[in-house]
Chain A
Amino acid sequence: MTLKRLLSERRAAILEKWRDRVFACYPPETASFLKREADRFSNPVAHRLTEGLKGIYATLLGEAPAAEVTAQLDEVLRIWAVQDFTPSQALAFVFFLKPIIREELAGELKADAGLTAELLDLESRLDGVALLGFDVYMRRREKLSDLKVSEMKARISGLLRRVGVDPSTL
C-alpha cells in the first residue's frame, strides 16, 4: 500500500491530531473553546484554521492542484499574521504534521521499509510548504502596512477629490 493511500485512509485521525496540536498553541481556555464550538460563525478562527489544514493535507496527497497550497496556507496565516504569532510560531504548524504522521503510521512504517522513502519525500515537500508559508505570512504583513497607508488616504479622500486629486493615484 502506498503512503498516500494510507494517509488518505487515516485522514480523519491525522487531521484531528494536527488540528488539536494547532489549537494547543492558544491558552488552555481558548483551546478548549476552539475545539468545542462547532458553529462556523460562532467559532470563526477554528473553522478557518481547520479548513486551511484540510486543504493543505489534500494538496499534499495530490488531491488538489499544488498551486492552491498558497491559498490554503493563507487561510491559516492571515489569522496568525494579526494574532500574537511570531513568524516562526506561525509556520511551525506545518512541521507539527511530521511527528503526527510518524506516530499515526508507526506500525505500517515499521512493517514496510518501502514507505520510508515516500515519507522522506513527503516530509521534504512539507518543508517546501513551510517555505511558501513564509511568503504568505510576509504578504499578509505587507498587506497590513498597505492598509494603514490606504486608510490614511481614505480619511481625507473626500478632501483630496475636492482639490482635484484622485486618491487612488497617490
Chain B
Amino acid sequence: MSLPKPEELARVNYQPPARGWMEVKPDFRPGTYCNAASPKWLEWIDYPYPRQWSVAEEDWQLPENWKEIVLEGMEDRLARFRSLKLFFDICVRCGACADKCHFFLGTGDPKNMPVLRAELLRSVYKRYFTRIGKALGELVGARDLDEKVIKEWFFYLYQCTICRRCSLFCPYGIDMAEMTLLGREMLASIGINIDWAMASVAQCYDKGSHIGATPQAFKDMIDFLAEENERITGIKTPVSYNRKGAEILFVTPSGDYFADPGTFTLMGYLLLFTYLDLDWTFSTYAAEGGNFGWFVSHEMGKRLNAKIYHEAERLKVKWILGGECGHMWRVCNQYMPTWFGQVPSFLEVPVSPVTGTVFENARVHKMVHISEFTADLLRHNKLKLDPQRNAHIKLTFHDSCNTSRGMGIFEEPRYIIQHVLPEGHFFEMPPNTIREKTFCCGSSSGINANENMELRMQGGFPRANAVRYVHERYGVNHLGCICALDRATLPTLLQYWVPEVEVTGITELVGNALVFEGEIERTTDLRDRDLVGVGEQEGGEEEE
C-alpha cells in the first residue's frame, strides 16, 4: 500500500455501511466500558461466579450453563415483574424515545436509541417466550441467545444511566430504567458485573460506605469539616454520632464527606443544623445514603438500604432527614418501605421542629429531603441570610434526574437559590434541558469509573452543551445541584467541556449566606475563596 496523499485521504469513505442492527457488534474500545468486577468483591457479598475475567478478551469465562441461568432468570422476572412483560409487548417502535437519550446524542451510536437498547433484551424474550418468535425467528426480530448477545447487553446496559428521560417521551411510559436494571440483574446472575459498582457495593456491605470508610474514619472526617467551619466562620458546629433519642437521623452519601466539592455541602449542613439548634445525629452504621446496590440488582439495593431503617429504629429517632442526593432519594422515597415490607411504625410522620410543618409527602417513608426542609424554613422566614456572600457566584441549576424527573423536586432548590444568591445571579438553562426534561450527568448508575472516561464525556455532552450556553450568554460560573453523584462527576465533565464553570451543592450556598450571632467577619466562602470586595481591599492595602 502506498502512503496516502491528503487528497487521497479526503476520498476515503468513512461512512459506515448500512447494516441490520443484529449484525453490528459492539467495539470494546478502551475508554468506553467499565472494567470487569474483581472476584474478591463478589466473594465478599456472596455473589455468583466470581472469577478473574477481562472485557477486552474474547473469552468471558461464562459458567457452563450460563444460557440456562439467563433464560430461567428472564422467565422468573417476567413472572415477578408484570411491567417487564408489558414493556416487552407494548412497544410499537414509534421512535419517540429514539433521540431523547443523552447517550445516543453524545455517542451517535444508534443502539443507544432506547427503542433499540430495549430491543437487545426484547429480541431474546421474543425468541424464547413468544410463539411467533419461536416460529419465525429473525423475521419478527427474535434471535438466539449467544455469547455475543451477552456482550452486547453488557456494553449497552452499562451505557444507560437509568435516568428515564426516554420514558418521559414514550407514549406508553415504557420505563427503560427498569429494563436496564433487570437486564443487569441477569448479567450479574452469570457473574458479569463492573468493578466500580461492585467495589462500592462490597465496601458498603462490609464497612458501611461505598468508599469503605470505617466508623472511625467517618467520624474523623466529619469532625475535620466541623473544624473547618469554625476556622472560616468562627462558629462551632458540633456533630453527634449514634446518639440515641435524637429527634432526627441525618443520612447523606459518602461523597459528601470525602470528596470535594461535596465536603463543602456537608459543611453547609452542619452550619444549618447548628443555626437551628436541631436535635439530630449521624449514624456511623448508616453512614452511606447512596446505594450502588440498586444499580446492580433490586436484591442488593434492598440489602444495602436496610441499615437506614434499622439505625433509625435502634437510635429511636422520630424521623429521617436526607442530604443532597439523587439516587439515594429515589431509593428511599420509592423503594425503601416496600423493601422493608411495611410502613416503619417506629417512626413518626416528619414534622419540622422549627416551623411545625408536617411533611405529608413523607407520611409513608418518613424521610425528608434537605431541600424540602430548607425551603420550608425559608418560607417561614426562619433563616437570616446575607446573599452578598455568594456574590462571586453566577449560578445555573442542574435538575438531577432522580430528584426531578423521578420525584418532582423542581421548585424547592430554586426557591432556596433565590434566597441565598443576590438578585440577578441565577440563570436557567434552556427549557428542553431542565426540570422533567433534564439531561443526565452521563455518569450515574455506577458507571462513573475512571476507565470509562470517554463514554462519560459523550453521555454528559448534552448537559455540558446547555451549561456552556448559559456560561457564554450570562457569565454563569457555577452549576448547582442537589445530588452527590453529580458533585462527584460533573466537575470532570465540565473540565472537559466548559472548564470555566465549577460545581456546587445548594446547601453549600446556604452555609455561605447564613448569618450567625457572634460569628467572625467572613472574608471567604466555605472554599476559602475571597468574598466579593475582600480581595480588592487586601490588594489596596498591599499597595500602600
Contacts and interface: CB of A to CB of B under 8 A. Distances in A.
Contact of B14 (A25, A37, A47): A25
Interface in B69-123: 98-99, 104-110, 113
Contacts of A79: 461
Nearest to B461: A44
Given A41-B433, A162-B220, A154 B259 contact: yes
Interface residues of A, number: 50
A40 B431 CA distance: 12
Nearest to A92: B9
Contact of A98 (B7, B211, B453, B496): B7
A45 B491 CA distance: 21
Interface centre among A82, A130, A157, A161 (most CB of B within 10 A): A82
A154 B496 CA distance: 15
Contacts of B346: none
B260 A157 contact: yes
Interface stretch (B240-248, B295-303, B462-470): B462-470
A43 interface: yes
A30 B257 contact: no
A158 B105 CA distance: 34
Interface residues on B, range: 35 or more
B495 A155 contact: no
Contact of B29 (A84, A88, A98, A161): A84
Contacts of A27: 16, 18, 24, 108-110
Given A30-B108, A48-B465, A156 B14 contact: no
A78 B496 contact: yes
A41 B106 CA distance: 12
Contacts of A155: 211, 258-259, 488
Interface string B385-420: 000000000000000000000000000000000000
Interface in A10-50: 24-31, 33-34, 37, 39-45, 47-48
B540 to A, nearest CB: 27
Contacts of B105: 42-45
Nearest to B450: A148
At the interface, is chain B mostly helix, strand, loop or mixed? helix
Contact of A158 (B15, B99, B258, B454): B258
A59 B27 CA distance: 36
At the interface, is chain A mostly helix, strand, loop or mixed? helix
Nearest to B465: A44
A89 B491 contact: no
Given A37-B99, A44-B105, A143-B496, A95 B453 contact: no
B470 to A, nearest CB: 11
Interface centre among B24, B224, B259 (most CB of A within 10 A): B259
B377 interface: no
A99 B6 CA distance: 11
Contacts of B454: 82-83, 144
B14 A147 contact: no
B110 A29 contact: yes
A34 B433 CA distance: 18
B10 interface: yes
Contacts, number: 138
A127 interface: yes
B44 interface: no
A114 interface: no
Interface string B259-270: 110110000000
Interface in A117-170: 127, 130, 143-144, 147-148, 150-152, 154-159, 161-162, 167
A5 B12 CA distance: 29
Given A25-B15, A78-B497, A151 B492 contact: yes
A154 B260 contact: yes
Contacts of B14: 24-25, 89, 92
B7 A95 contact: yes
B356 interface: no
Nearest to A91: B9
Interface string B482-513: 00000010011001110000000000000000
A155 B209 CA distance: 14
A139 to B, nearest CB: 12
Given A33-B99, A89-B14, A150-B492, A162 B497 contact: no
A78 B99 CA distance: 21
B287 to A, nearest CB: 14
Contact of B10 (A25, A41, A84, A98): A98
Interface string A63-99: 0000000000000001100111000110010011011
Contacts of B9: 88, 92, 95
Nearest to A151: B492
Interface centre among B10, B113, B450 (most CB of A within 10 A): B10
> What are the 9 closest A-B residue pairs judged by CB atoms, nearest first?
A95-B10, A44-B465, A29-B110, A158-B263, A157-B260, A82-B457, A30-B108, A82-B454, A162-B224
Given A37-B99, A82-B31, A154-B259, 9 more contacts: A29-B113, A42-B105, A83-B108, A92-B14, A95-B6, A95-B10, A98-B10, A157-B259, A161-B260
27 contacts: A24-B15, A26-B108, A27-B24, A37-B99, A41-B430, A41-B466, A42-B99, A42-B432, A43-B105, A44-B106, A44-B465, A79-B461, A82-B457, A82-B461, A83-B458, A92-B9, A95-B9, A95-B10, A99-B10, A144-B453, A148-B450, A150-B492, A151-B491, A154-B260, A155-B258, A157-B263, A158-B257
Interface of B: 6-7, 9-12, 14-16, 18, 24, 27, 29, 31-32, 98-99, 104-110, 113, 211, 220-221, 224-225, 257-260, 262-263, 430, 432-433, 450, 453-454, 457-458, 461-462, 465-466, 469, 488, 491-492, 495-497
